Structure 1
Amino acid sequence: MLNNIIAIYKPKGPTSHDIIDEIRKITGERRVGHAGTLDPLARGVLVIGIGRDATKKLSEVVKKEKEYIAEITFGVESLTDDAEGEKTQRNIKESPSRETIEKILAKFIGKIQQTPPIFSALKIKGESAYRKARRGEKIKLKPREVEIKSVEVLKYEWPRLMLKVITGPGVYIRALARDLGQALGVGGYLSDLERTRVGEFKKEDALNLNQLRN
């Protein structure tokens, strides 16, 4: 624990806010916050601040570099850009080679314009985009400048691609999966995601909730 800032390993299933609620129950402290949301289907490092001073410092943690292991499934598109959404099968005549994928991936490295997923917590006129999307409202989010520092192909066996991705703040790995699939002309969605590091907070140092209870 660093000045009441800790790394929790969030499992698949609960929301980041569910973890916050559980930590409030465990510690009895109401002022608990996190630095960087993990979607329910994602797992990995969630940095938590406990107490007023710690939660104030989370704004600095949010800016830190993040590392992910991501699995992308090609040939299928998802309304939410991940495994949760309604899916549409694409008719693929030829699967791209690893060399083609690596060549296209290179275009996503550096400072890029990225359009967030419509099913996201971004606010539109004070309301989360995902709430509007669930009501069937037409949503158009503006691209934002983000930085992807590096992308490494760990494994590729059609239709699945496994990547190690290092990013700056504000990057949506779901959007990277969607955009890579579109750039390759085959479609794709994020089928699995693990965040392995946030700045100096690493997966191997992260606590689970049972450890915190004890």
Structure 2
Amino acid sequence: MTGNLSAVGQNGQESIAGVLLVDKPVGRSSFAVVKKVRWLLGIKKVGHAGTLDPFASGLLVICVGRPATREIDAFMVGRKTYQAVLQLGKETETQDPEGEVTSVRPVPLLSAEEITAVTQEFVGPQMQAPPPCSAAKP
């Protein structure tokens, strides 16, 4: 966990404000990370800029204190990069790796060129409805 926290005087009391960059591990929800930061720092005003599903790992931007939480929207508009591992031919009830498998189909042998051609369709801005069991809110 890295970050930039500063103590600021507020009504004669010291409090902490700033941004933490957390490498969220697989298996932990974004909310669980926020809850842990609240507990560790003893501060109620903590939020995150963007939700990662529990099965995803990656950068979670944690804003601590009122000055930082007011800037959460600014962190949401930045450029994002994603990496994925795919398992073709498998379908789950939740459309994610945690759901019960509902269908398994054979996958034809694909060339590197065919795979590259399809993945290029996903480069750039994408609008997609989140799956029903996603942590993201539509």
- The answer to whether TM tops 0.5 is yes
3-state SS in 2 of match to 1:74: coil
Matches within 5 A, 1:1-214: 1-2=3-4, 4-92=18-106, 94-120=108-134, 121-122=136-137
- Quote the RMSD (CA, aligned, Å): 1.8
Name the CA shift for 1:15/1:87 in 2 (closer, same or farther; >3 Å). Answer: same
Name the CA shift for 1:26/1:37 in 2 (closer, same or farther; >3 Å). Answer: same
In the alignment, the residues of structure 1 paired with residue 84 and residue 120 of structure 2 have an alpha-carbon distance, to the nearest angstrom, of 16
In the alignment, the residues of structure 2 paired with residue 78 and residue 44 of structure 1 have an alpha-carbon distance, to the nearest angstrom, of 23
3-state SS in 2 of match to 1:89: strand
In the alignment, the residues of structure 1 paired with residue 106 and residue 55 of structure 2 have an alpha-carbon distance, to the nearest angstrom, of 27
Count the aligned residue pairs. 123
3-state SS in 2 of match to 1:6: strand
Richer in helix (by share): 1
Larger mean CA deviation between 49-58 and 112-121 belongs to 112-121
User: Could you tell me which amino acid in structure 2 is paired with residue 89 of structure 1?
Assistant: S
In the alignment, the residues of structure 2 paired with residue 61 and residue 25 of structure 1 have an alpha-carbon distance, to the nearest angstrom, of 23
Query: Larger relative contact order (C-alpha < 8 A, sep ≥ 6)?
Result: 1
In the alignment, the residues of structure 2 paired with residue 24 and residue 113 of structure 1 have an alpha-carbon distance, to the nearest angstrom, of 33
Tell me the TM-score normalized by structure 2. Answer: 0.79
* Overall identity of the aligned pairs, in %: 37
In the alignment, the residues of structure 2 paired with residue 48 and residue 93 of structure 1 have an alpha-carbon distance, to the nearest angstrom, of 40
Richer in strand (by share): 1
3-state SS in 2 of match to 1:21: helix
In the alignment, the residues of structure 2 paired with residue 103 and residue 94 of structure 1 have an alpha-carbon distance, to the nearest angstrom, of 16
* Divergent runs of 4+, >3 A: none
